[in-house]
Every structure is written in C-alpha cells, then in structure tokens.
Structure 1
Amino acid sequence: MIKKIRIDQLTPGMYIHDLNLAWFDHPFVRNQFLLDSDADLQRIVATGVQSLYIDAARGRDVDDAPTLEEAEAATEASLLAALAEPAKPAPLSRREEMSRASRIHQQAGQMVRQVMSDVRMGRAIEVAQAEEVAELIADSIDRNAGALIGLIGIKNKDEYTFLHSVAVGTLMITFAKSLGLSAQEVRQGGVGGLLHDTGKMLVPDHILNKPGRLTDEEFAVMRSHPLEGWKILKQVEGIDPVALEITLLHHERQDGSGYPEKRKADQLSQMVQMASIVDVYDAITSDRCYHKGMPAPQVLRKLWEWSPHHFNPQLVQAFIRTIGIYPVGTLVKLQSGRLAVVTEQNDAAPLTPLVKVIYSTKTPGYLPPEDLDLALAAKQGGDRIAGFESPEKYGIDVGRFLLAA
C-alpha cells in the first residue's frame, strides 16, 4: 500500500515510492528505492522535501499515514476549492490565432538558439532580440493564450534546452498578464524566462544530457548554471535587472531549500517566485533523454501539493487558473470511453473545457475528429471528463490535432 508520510517520519528500512520532488531537485537516479542508510536519509532531508510517499508492502510502515488515494483526494478537493473564481475569456479562438502563434514560436526558438550559440562561442548577446520576441509573444497571448500554450507543449527532447526557455518565457508572459501586471513587468518576466537558462551553455554536454545518476561533483556543476548565467548576462549592455534576478534565483524555494543562495520567501520577489513555478512546471511535463514527462494535470496537482514549502500557494493557484486545470494539449478521457484533446479553456468552469474528440478506447481506434463543448454537454446531461491519459499509452500525437485547423 502506498502512503504519504512527513519527512520527520522517514526512517531507514522504508521503501521510497516517490520522493515527491522534481527530478532535478534531488541527486538520486531513481524515485523508487529501499532507504537502507542514514547517509541517504540525510541526503533526502537536505533536499528540503516536507512529505513523500512510501510503499508499506515493501518496507517499514507508518500506521496512521494517509494512503495515496486519500492524499490525492485531499489535494484535488483543496485545488478545486481554490479555483472557484472565474477569469476573463480570451477575445479570439485558438484556431484563429494558431498560424500566427506558430510563426512566433518558431521565431522565439531561433532567437534562443542564437543566444545560446553566442554564449558558447563567447560572443556578445543582443538583449534587444529577446525583448522583441517577448513583445510578439505578449501580443499573441492577448489574442488567445491557448494557441501558444498548446504549442509549447510540443517538444523535441533533443532540443529541450532551447524549447524549455521558449516555454518558460511564454508562460511567464501569460502568467504576468493574468495577474494584471504592467506592460513593462510583462516584458521583464518574458525576457527573464527566455534567458533564464543561459548558464546551462557552460555545463558540459556529458553532464547536461547524462542519462543516469549524477555524481555529487556533477550535481554541483549542474547547480552552478544559475550563477554562471547571471555572470554572463550581467555583462550585457541594457539587460534588465529583473531578467538577471530570474536567471540567478529561479531555483530558489520558499523554505530556503533551493539554490544557489538558499534564500527564503521573504527574500524572493514576486517575479522570481513566479519563475520558479513556471520553470518546474515545464521541466516536469517535458520529455528528456533521462526523464519521461508527466501529464500536465498531474504536475499542476504536484505543484499545489508542494506549496507552501517550495512555492507560494497564492501564485500556484493563480498559475493553475491561468493555464487551466486541464491545459490546452492535455489528453482527457471522457466518461463515454472516448479520448479528447483539450483545445480551449472554459474560464468560468475549469472542469468543462472545449475539446476535440479523436479516439475510442472501446473500439479501439481513431474517430472522426469532433469539437465538443463540455460545458454545454454537461448542461444537457452529456459527456464529462473522467480523468487524463498519457498520449504515449495510445500512440497519439497530440500536436497533430492541435495544429490542425
């Protein structure tokens, strides 16, 4: 039986089922293993994690700990209660914005590649390029945020470093706009997101893309990238202080367990706290050569669970409201047994987005694509979301349906 325990309840002899941390926030090659030494116990404590999951059937138990199902139900109930207030709808449909958003996404990717190449070659970085791209992204978000949000979920794992930066920049702009920040703050957050991982270009490829467990020395090198990126960008003429701050501090955590400076919540600006949420969200939902991405709804629930120790709960709530509890591009399973791709948010009712029905799990096989408004269907006693699925389980290319007119 899987149970959720507090960190102070963890002892050697327990079988770790899930460390309850982002994969890049702990030094272990696996999330599941038998805890058989005090040394590894101290390494887990040092990560700052407040709770984790054990398999009581494979190791020592904690009698009164909640089961996985009970813990997930509590997280779900808390999250839905926090999302009670609706947000403003987008003025254009995703379909109307998609072709323009696709061009902007490509331009952003080219810009990030150029910046990263300049860093590796020791050439000067032109920050004006990032500012121009941030403005284009902001304009697209104003027209319809779902178009770019859907595109940033389509990643080639071999180009992760570039596309992750595009995604973080896009999400920062979307997030900042949803909070009602000024145009200047929106641009600052976008530029900071686009440039936040600049320091990774100084991390050797054999460490950056290592498929197995990092040694303590390699882990230290990987964790040097925020400071190295800050040093690089600090030399750039015209660089905004907010972009510098995001680059240096996006791996800090509310409880001081992050890096490189172990700052706590009261030492972190709102923009940095936003960046830490966005960075983790995109990293965990993305495929890497050594890490399989998790479905977006699952990651959002983990972010909620990890606050307030690691993240600001109010900002996590606002972020989930911004992109939706089932973000654009999520593959959902309907009560009818059909699978559908989320194509538009319903801000007034986050559990009833617009979807494109594409597959039957009963047949099984593809269906003629059908647009379905789940809010309308719910009023008429029709189909509802039963849960979310991994596209790989059914061999479904979600991007194909998002990009289709």
Structure 2
Amino acid sequence: MKQIPVQLLQVGSMYTKPVYVEDNNLLVPAGIAIRKKDVERLVSWGIDTVRTEGEMLPPGTKPDQVGPGGGVGNAAKLPVLPSLAEAPGNQGTYRTYTDLIEKLKGIFKDIAIGSSVEVHAIDVIISRLLQVIREKRELIIGYILAGEVKHHDLAKSSINTAILSCLITMEFKVPNHKLLQIVTAALLHDVGMLRLPREILDKRGGLSGPERQCVQTHPLMSYRIACKELLYPEAVGLMVSQHHEYWDGTGYPRQLAGTQIDSGARIISVADAFEAMVSQKPYRNSMIGYQAMKNLLADNSRRFDPNVLKAFIKTMGIYPIGSIVLLNNGAIARVTEVRNETPLRPKINLLINKSGKVYPPNEGETIDLLTEKTLFITRALDPKDLTKARE
C-alpha cells in the first residue's frame, strides 16, 4: 500500500482504490473526488500521509466510469445507498429517535441557564427510549453508527450513550429498577458540561492545564445537577460522578480503581467512549464501528472493566449490528445479527449484490455467513460514504 504525502494531494483527484487515513479510517472511497475540506482536515489534524492501493485516475474521469473493482471503463455507477432513515418502514423509528434528541436538547437548554426543569419530561424520554430499544434495536443502533443526525451534539451524544448503556446493561440481566437508574445516569452523565465556560467548550485547539482541570470538574457538576437540582437518587448521582474513573485508577475526579467504581459507571464509561469514537467531532471525522470496537479491545484493562467490555462485544459484535461491510465477492451488506462465538461471521442483509444491484433496506437477501462458507467480510465501510447524505 503506497503512502501519499498530504501536501501532494490534489483537490478533485480520484483514485482507483479507497484512500485511508491511518489504519482503517476511510478518507474517500474509490472514484470519489478529494475535497478541499478533506485536505484542510488532514492538515488541521497534523496528518502527514494517507494510504491507498490504487492509482490516481486521469483528470476528467467521472464517478460513473469507475467500476466496483476500481477500474475505469463502462462499468456500473458507483453505488449510492438510500439513507437508513429514508427507507420505507423506518421513518417512524427515525422520527422517534430525532424527537427524543430534540426534547432532550430543550431540557438541556433549561439546565444550562438554571431554569426549572420538569423531571417527568426526562422520565418520559427514558420510557420512550427503552420502548424503541426493545422494539427496534438493530435500527436504532444503525442510526448511531450511520451518524444520521448531524447537529445537537450534547443531546445526541447523551441519547446515544443511554441507548448503548441500556444494551450493555440488558446483557447483565439486572432488575428493572437498576436498568432505569443506569439509563437515567447515562442520559445525564455530561450535563455538567452545560455549566462550563463557553470559551472552553468552543475551543478547537489543545486545552491549557487550568482549562483541562476545569473540564475535569464536570462529573461533579453533573452529580450536583442530577441529585441536588433534579432530585434523582444518590445511586444515579454516583454513576454520573464516576463515569470518567478508569479501571487502573488513572481517571478523574477521584482516581478510583477497579470495583471501587460503581458498576453502572463502568458501563456508562464504555458506552460513552464508543459513542465518542463513532461520532463526528470538530477536530476529526467519526470512526466506523469496527475501528471503534478494535480500539476498545486494545484497552488492555487500562480504562475499562474487562467484563463490561466482554458484555458490550457480545451485544454488538466485532462488526457491530448496523455496520456496513464489503464481502469478498464485491457485495455490500448491513450486519443484522451477531454471535459471540463466531464474531467474524454474522448474519447480514444485502444492500448491493455482486453485480451492483442496489436493494432498498430490508429488501435484499439475508445471508448467514456461518453457513455460507465461501463468503466472508473483507472490511467495514463508512455508511456516510455510500449514502445520499455525503456532502
């Protein structure tokens, strides 16, 4: 795989194979032009080189001249998938998801300025969230991985973290009241950020020592908001205050270690970290779910409780449910079911077959890779690079 210096990347150029930033982070797929903002982001991130197995296409080559294998000729057009949210039958769940984010955004606005908040409104969000997780689990995970909502960062992050925390907690089969407490804490874990100075929250460069110390006070501020203002029980506040404590004792604010950390806080910590990796940030692109899962697996009992990580992987899979994957025959599919004992051979639903035919979501063939021995996943794809949502 060749290395290309970022300073030599040409805006508008296309390659016969995907271009990657580090490991498996996709910059652009084959036949997609590199944009000015792509180059600017690389420069701002301090990245010197990108990688590709392909060759630069001749100037004037159009995307519809690039075949599935990356060659140029009278090939099928580069596949474009409909957004998961736009698919027939999915709109209702998507409206529920976005409505929950909007409602939480309104609550967070009131918390930020110190206005009175109706706690019942938060409880209603939690109730609706649990219902949609139980009824549309795969779909709601797909929305998180696909980055379907582009704004409302804190509210969206909090809803997503609550969803992921719920899924992990369900794996432990805890009593319902404990599940409700963990989901509530996950929803409120970062509310203390709302009271931090705006100039720190909006800063794009590195934080100074005092600024970093200020940010590290947010778990305690979140605790005060949850327990003193919203009057949630101490059990919820404990999880909120400890969600940045690390398994090895190097976290904050109290440097707790191992089982000194509340079990719910350990769950929220894993969910929060995964959510942060798969979400777009001002300073970097989002990771695909597969890469985020690889990063968690590489933790080595430093930040996270190993048992919580095992439960998360068992729930989500190495290729998390909702992931878009490329098969060895050139077909593209969405992961629909994972197995803990065979994480590399999940059930998938075809989105584009090997001939390039595009299927609407849920209308392609369902394939069990455990029984289809000739097929296997070659790599995960970024959903944003295969949807109409791409800028």
**TM-score when scaled to structure 2?**
0.70
Structure in which a larger fraction of residues adopt helix: 1
Pair 356,373 (structure 1): closer, same or farther in 2 beyond 3 Å: closer
Take 2:328 and 2:375, find their aligned partners in 1: how far apart are those partners?
6
Which stretches in structure 1 are left out of the alignment for 5+ residues? 1-16, 19-28, 34-94, 401-405
Q: What SS is found at the alignment partner of 1:374?
A: strand
| 1:323 pairs with 2:305 | no
Instruction: Name which of 278, 299, 307 aligns with 2:271.
Output: 278
| 1:199 pairs with 2:189 | no
| 1:350 pairs with 2:346 | no
| 1:106 pairs with 2:98 | yes
Pair 316,399 (structure 1): closer, same or farther in 2 beyond 3 Å: farther
Structure 1 contact 246–272 (Cα < 8 Å) conserved: yes
Aligned-pair CA distance for 1:337: 2.1
Partner of 1:367: 358
| Further displaced range: 271-280 or 166-175 | 166-175
Structure 1 contact 340–357 (Cα < 8 Å) conserved: yes
Structure 2 contact 45–284 (Cα < 8 Å) conserved: no
Structure 2 contact 242–253 (Cα < 8 Å) conserved: yes
Aligned-pair CA distance for 1:135: 2.0
Which stretches in structure 2 are left out of the alignment for 5+ residues? 1-21, 24-43, 49-86
Partner of 2:203: 210
Structure 2 contact 105–152 (Cα < 8 Å) conserved: no
Aligned-pair CA distance for 1:321: 0.9
The code of the aligned residue for 1:130 comes to: I
Aligned-pair CA distance for 1:399: 7.9
Structure 1 contact 285–295 (Cα < 8 Å) conserved: yes
Take 1:168 and 1:239, find their aligned partners in 2: how far apart are those partners?
19
Pair 277,103 (structure 1): closer, same or farther in 2 beyond 3 Å: same
Pair 398,229 (structure 1): closer, same or farther in 2 beyond 3 Å: farther
Partner of 1:190: 183
Pair 102,30 (structure 1): closer, same or farther in 2 beyond 3 Å: closer
Partner of 2:126: 134
| 1:123 pairs with 2:127 | no
The code of the aligned residue for 2:378 comes to: A
Structure 1 contact 210–290 (Cα < 8 Å) conserved: no
Take 1:327 and 1:168, find their aligned partners in 2: how far apart are those partners?
15
Take 1:147 and 1:368, find their aligned partners in 2: how far apart are those partners?
17
Q: What SS is found at the alignment partner of 2:364?
A: strand
Partner of 1:145: 137
Structure 2 contact 227–233 (Cα < 8 Å) conserved: no
Take 1:274 and 1:210, find their aligned partners in 2: how far apart are those partners?
29
Take 1:305 and 1:350, find their aligned partners in 2: how far apart are those partners?
16
Structure 1 contact 391–398 (Cα < 8 Å) conserved: no
Q: What SS is found at the alignment partner of 2:287?
A: coil
Aligned counterparts, 1:5-404, within 5 A: 98-153=90-145, 154-345=147-338, 349-359=342-352, 367-369=358-360, 371-375=364-368, 378-392=370-384, 395-397=385-387
Pair 162,155 (structure 1): closer, same or farther in 2 beyond 3 Å: farther
Take 1:103 and 1:347, find their aligned partners in 2: how far apart are those partners?
31
CA RMSD of aligned residues (A): 3.1
**TM-score when scaled to structure 1?**
0.68
Structure 1 contact 352–374 (Cα < 8 Å) conserved: no
Pair 294,190 (structure 1): closer, same or farther in 2 beyond 3 Å: same
Take 1:130 and 1:144, find their aligned partners in 2: how far apart are those partners?
21
The code of the aligned residue for 1:108 comes to: L
Aligned-pair CA distance for 1:263: 0.9
Aligned-pair CA distance for 1:294: 1.2
Q: What SS is found at the alignment partner of 1:336?
A: coil
Pair 348,306 (structure 1): closer, same or farther in 2 beyond 3 Å: closer
Q: How many residues align?
A: 309
